[in-house]
Amino acid sequence: MPTSTEPRTPAPLPGHSRVTRLIRYALSGGASALTHFGIGMAGVHLLGLRPVVASTTGFVASIAVSYALQRNWVFRSSSGHVLAGSRFLTVTAVAFTINTVVLWVGTELLDAAYPVVQPVALTLIPLVNYVLNSRWTFRS
């Protein structure tokens, strides 16, 4: 039993198991990742942007997609936008840091291709985000 100082994961709504929440999280993450990667690819290949700049642009666009889906559909949070939104942006800053470091190391230091490096970041970010968002951002 969690103590009052331990973070609590939002309880699933009746008829919505943790498995359902994970499936919804995966689908919302897919929509966010497609937004991020698609805009990043367009930036690199159509606009000639450096990979980190293109990826950052895609990442920013994916924030709105991710917040809306996670708050309203995945976690079904009743937390106000000021509280949930500020926490979400804090978690997003953590994800942004992960993304930027992975992209910089992969494309600039290791000279790997953007389409190879970006999926590495897009694998790490959802794992960190789920833990933080379920236990802190959208907890009841």
For the cut 90, the answer to whether the pLDDT of residue 13 exceeds it is no
Overall number of domains in the chain: 1
Q: How many angstroms separate the Cα of 8 from the Cα of each of 4, 15, 22, 109?
A: 9, 19, 16, 40
For residue 15, the SS3 value is coil
DSSP E strands, 35-98 = none
Domain that includes residue 128, residue range: 18-137
Using a pLDDT cut of 70, give the percent of the chain over it: 88
For the cut 90, the answer to whether the pLDDT of residue 105 exceeds it is yes
Residue 12 within any structural domain of the chain:
no
Residue 9 within any structural domain of the chain:
no
Residue 31 within any structural domain of the chain:
yes
pLDDT classification of 41: cutoffs 50, 70, 90? very high
Nearest to 51 by CA among 127, 126, 13, 103: 103
For the cut 50, the answer to whether the pLDDT of residue 111 exceeds it is yes
Residue 11 within any structural domain of the chain:
no
For the cut 80, the answer to whether the pLDDT of residue 22 exceeds it is yes
Mean of the pLDDT values across residues 78-103?
Answer: 94
Using a pLDDT cut of 90, give the percent of the chain over it: 73
pLDDT at 6: 47
State the Cα–Cα distance between residues 47 and 120, nearest whole angstrom: 23
Residue 13 within any structural domain of the chain:
no
Residue 5 within any structural domain of the chain:
no
Nearest to 105 by CA among 130, 124, 133: 124
pLDDT classification of 33: cutoffs 50, 70, 90? confident
State the Cα–Cα distance between residues 131 and 28, nearest whole angstrom: 15
Residue 1 within any structural domain of the chain:
no
State the Cα–Cα distance between residues 74 and 45, nearest whole angstrom: 33
Residue 129 within any structural domain of the chain:
yes
Q: Which residues of 71-96 are buried (b: 16+ CB within 10 A; e: fewer)?
A: beebbbbebeeeebeebbeebbeebb
Mean of the pLDDT values across residues 8-36?
Answer: 80
